[in-house]
Structure 1
Amino acid sequence: MIADLWRRSVADSDNLAEKLPKIGLFLGLLALAFAWGVATVKWKVFPHHQLVYLESGVVALSKMEVTELPHAVIELAPDETSPDPVALFGPEPAGDVILMTGGFNYRQDICPEFGCMAWVMERDGTVLHSWQYDPSALFDRDKLAGFTGEREAGNIYVQGAALDPAGHLVVTFQARNMFPYQVAVARFDWDGRLDWIRIDGSHHWPTVGDDGRVYVPMARIESDATTVAATRQKLQCKYGAVFQEGVRVISPDGAVLHEFWMDDVVRMSDAQGLAYSVRDDCDPYHVNGIALLNEAAAHRLPGARAGDLLVSLRSSSSLVVLDRDSGRIKHHIAGPMVAQHSPRVLPDGDVAVFDNLGGIDTARGTRVLKLDIVTGAPTTLFPRDADKPGGDLFSEAQGDVNFSADGSRALVAETLGGRMFEFDTATGAPIWSYRSVSDMAPFYAAEGNPVDGPAYALMHTQGAHFLSRAAFRRLTGG
């Protein structure tokens, strides 16, 4: 037995001696692969860019929406019995009606062909006027040649709408399953005819001045950026595609008057910290709203003028005031709000925002926040009572707020919750609420899947504006 064990051990040692070069080569290759992997990450040598490209593709695919319903549908609502249910919590304000932002496939009981992009309504739900337009006439594959992904009109949706004093409806469009998602801005007349459209990377909500000028966030993709706002700080955007954003000013006839790109603005204004102090270098600014300073606000800010631009930057949770002609930053507010949207200038010169994630003292975390335009001191306007309607207000993204001409009331759109609330700004008391419900049966029928009876669904609420009854009568010739 001992002899057998001896012979076996000698044989094993001989085999090991033969295998040692191969084992050494294998271990060496492992060490080289490890070293190359470290170099790939640290110094971005081959195949760093290929791996990043692959990862970005995987991430993009994971964000593709797989659904048989339009983008704006939050969920099916089988318990609803009518479109757009409303509730009134006190005396109905008599001086105005409401301009509601909708979209393709919204309220096809009113706009049967394509859905209502927007409509004017009473608080009892009665629709007084509406706009619809064929999305395939606005967008086809040739017009969307600069985009990648599923370049189809059905993937484009209405993001925001605003009415100018002459009754023109300005609409911004975004897209799902397309890159980039920022698409276009268009203007329609009161009767729904297209005045002009610009497929130019406009996005989020438009603002329209009293002179008919249109102000929209704009975006482009930059693939060769390496540092933060021309500082020595390296850009930490591993996908290599940076959203550069800014503000575009458009004349009433659709011509570009000004373009203020934020990367240029912060360098010109020596405000590079706005680009550095963000959570995502791939989206350093994320412009999502614009308002115009009134005389009261301009009077309180040294060097400001009426018509200067109040711009919301979601990435840095801040507001900046830009000179209306040069784009230079004149004032900056940050601190109380988190990932806010919808900047608004109030009659007294203070400002307000839809504060998506800063409302730590509310039930869910979203609030309408008033800010002293000089000091930035915050005051929560709504909700103030978690037990009253709207007390659970929450929209992690998007959201919109608009005020009556005297600032006494506001309309707040909880976009991702599909609800709208009107409230008293002095007390925070809810006045009126609305749930965005539309019948999807026409959509199913157009897709070749007809259903029996209505198929109600809860839809995004992108925004609403007050429209005085006097202005409505003037626009309708009544």
Structure 2
Amino acid sequence: MIWRLCVSGSDQEDQTAANNGGDRVFISAFFVGIAAISFGLGAFVVLAEVPPYQSMKNAWRAGTALWEQRTKYTDVERLDFWAEARTDQTGVTIHDVNRAQNGLTLYSSGDGPHAVLIDMDGNIVHEWRMPFSMIHDETSPIPNPQKDDFMHWHTAKMAPDGGLIVQYTAAGDTPYGYGMAKIDQNSNPVWKYLGTAHHDFSIADDGRVYALTQEFRFNTYANRKQLTPPRLDDFAVILSPEGKEIKKVSILDALINSSYANMVDFAPYFANEDILHTNTIQLIDADTAKNFAYGKEGDVVVSFRDLGIIAVLDMDVEKIVWATRGSWLGQHDPDVLPNGDILLFDNQGQLADPDAGQSRVLQIDPETNAITWQYKGTATHKFDSNIRADQQRLPNGNTLITESSGGRLFEVTPTGDIVWEFHNPIRRDDPDNPDKKLIPVVSQAERITDARAALYRDTVPASNTGDAQ
């Protein structure tokens, strides 16, 4: 004690500094140790999948998603609704009046929630616009939707009465399907459905709508441990002509409870959190069922992109009753044709000739998966859409094709001649490369050839008729 009293002031300061330095080292070592222990425990919990493994996993996913949303989705032009423009051409660039199917063409565009109806020369006959903010309310499962600029109508189809039914898709959010609405010719809402509808829908002659919805589920399956929660699962729903939900079927349950359940085991590693990624639903009506041996009237054809599966869902027994896989990759829009064949967009299955593009449109015999007709690109007319896209068999036997990533619509004859072509006329500067232009994707299109066209112009178009399969 006497020694301490005799220590000089400077010596006391040095001693205090040394003590403080030691304290800081100890405190730092303490927190590093705590961090190391926490990391070790966290790693054990995650690898061993013991509680609270799922909570930690969910928190990590939520934080990662929030960070990505805040940092990646800042500019509209950086969304995957936009792609690099492949040409300076806009509007109709090819029109063979003698061989093209006359009518009006309806398409939706990635630059916003709107759809356009054009004539064969590319002139705008009608346009609809209605932002999601006009129909969003507290009943929506999406409490804080993205800005309207970050959405578009993935699909827009004309109802039997000439009204337009549309589906809203958002970027940077999950679920990304925001719902559906029916709007009149003046873009006023007739009804809205705020279930998380996504991708596609089919309209029955009586006005009912068969749609796809998605939601997070936390259930598990005894024999499918790889299907860990939470998952983004798909449902097939039936809406009344007034947009009211009258039935809802879990598509994953329908597959797991069927004789095709083992197909789930071949899902790629990246797909377990969105195992089916259902991108198509087509109603099998009475005419379609006549020559199609694998489904009855009222069933629906569905497409599971990452599994490479085309299937038939019986909405009555809520079970998959038929499924097949083929040479296609990342497929969209399988349509049952009047002769019983299936027409589909094969997004990435054309591997033999990379100069022609990776996409094809295939017509297959569902009994054998044999290709009975196909269209693929050439070096001079490259055909390439890695995601989205669809096709429509026209009354004259031609096929209208939507090349989404290229922002292009075109019509081909059975022999593969292009007799009509249209490029989305909208362009914007690439924020990452001012020397390049961007074009909004065209997710889906249809040619209107029947009496509905008369609602939007003075006379009904004269249809080219023929025996189409």
TM-score normalised by L of structure 1: 0.77
Partner in structure 1 of residue 7 of structure 2:
none
Unaligned stretches of 5+ in structure 1? 1-22, 107-114, 442-454
Structure 1 position 315 matched with structure 2 position 306? yes
Contact 1:168 / 1:187 at 8 angstroms: preserved in 2? yes
Cα separation, partners in 2 of 1:301 and 1:400, compared to 1, 3 Å: closer
Contact 1:99 / 1:118 at 8 angstroms: preserved in 2? no
Structural mapping, 1:53-452, within 5 Å: 53-59=59-65, 61-62=67-68, 64-69=72-77, 71=79, 74=82, 80=88, 84-88=90-94, 90-93=96-99, 95-103=101-109, 117-139=114-136, 142=138, 144=140, 146-147=141-142, 151-222=146-217, 224-226=218-220, 230-235=221-226, 237=228, 240-279=229-268, 280-293=271-284, 298-302=289-293, 304-363=295-354, 364-379=357-372, 381-383=374-376, 385-389=377-381, 392-406=382-396, 408-424=397-413, 426-438=414-426
Partners of 1:78 and 1:393 lie apart in 2 by 11
Q: What's the offset of the Cα at 1:205?
A: 2.0
Cα separation, partners in 2 of 1:149 and 1:416, compared to 1, 3 Å: farther
- The answer to which of 93-102 and 151-160 deviates more is 93-102
Partners of 2:118 and 2:42 lie apart in 1 by 64
What secondary structure, in the 3-state scheme, does the structure 1 residue paired with 2:453 have?
helix
Q: What's the offset of the Cα at 1:335?
A: 2.1
Cα separation, partners in 2 of 1:257 and 1:158, compared to 1, 3 Å: same
Partner in structure 1 of residue 17 of structure 2:
none
The Cα offsets for residues 257-282 of structure 1, whole Å up to 9 and x where unpaired, read as 32221122124423322333212211
Cα separation, partners in 2 of 1:261 and 1:52, compared to 1, 3 Å: closer
- The answer to which of 46-55 and 363-372 deviates more is 46-55
What secondary structure, in the 3-state scheme, does the structure 1 residue paired with 2:310 have?
strand
The Cα offsets for residues 231-264 of structure 1, whole Å up to 9 and x where unpaired, read as 3231354xx4201102111121112232221122
The percent of aligned pairs where both chains have the same amino acid is 21
Cα separation, partners in 2 of 1:42 and 1:250, compared to 1, 3 Å: same
Question: Which AA in structure 2 matches 1:257?
Answer: I
Question: Which AA in structure 1 matches 2:441?
Answer: H
The Cα offsets for residues 146-205 of structure 1, whole Å up to 9 and x where unpaired, read as 336664333332110111221011100111122321110111123432110111010102
The Cα offsets for residues 4-29 of structure 1, whole Å up to 9 and x where unpaired, read as xxxxxxxxxxxxxxxxxxx9xx99x9
Partners of 1:71 and 1:192 lie apart in 2 by 25
Structure 1 position 460 matched with structure 2 position 441? yes
Question: Which AA in structure 2 matches 1:225?
Answer: N
Cα separation, partners in 2 of 1:93 and 1:214, compared to 1, 3 Å: farther
Partners of 1:32 and 1:307 lie apart in 2 by 55
Partners of 1:122 and 1:476 lie apart in 2 by 10
Q: What's the offset of the Cα at 1:125?
A: 1.1
Partners of 1:79 and 1:356 lie apart in 2 by 20
Contact 1:301 / 1:374 at 8 angstroms: preserved in 2? no
Cα separation, partners in 2 of 1:121 and 1:62, compared to 1, 3 Å: same
Partner in structure 2 of residue 12 of structure 1:
none
RMSD: 3.4
Partners of 2:84 and 2:329 lie apart in 1 by 30
Cα separation, partners in 2 of 1:122 and 1:170, compared to 1, 3 Å: same
Task: State the number of aligned residues.
Answer: 417
- The answer to which of 212-221 and 86-95 deviates more is 86-95
What secondary structure, in the 3-state scheme, does the structure 2 residue paired with 1:136 have?
helix
What secondary structure, in the 3-state scheme, does the structure 1 residue paired with 2:197 have?
coil
Cα separation, partners in 2 of 1:303 and 1:191, compared to 1, 3 Å: same
Q: What's the offset of the Cα at 1:67?
A: 0.8
Question: Which AA in structure 2 matches 1:387?
Answer: A
Contact 1:148 / 1:179 at 8 angstroms: preserved in 2? no
The Cα offsets for residues 339-363 of structure 1, whole Å up to 9 and x where unpaired, read as 2111112121111111112222343
The Cα offsets for residues 33-53 of structure 1, whole Å up to 9 and x where unpaired, read as 658734531233456742552
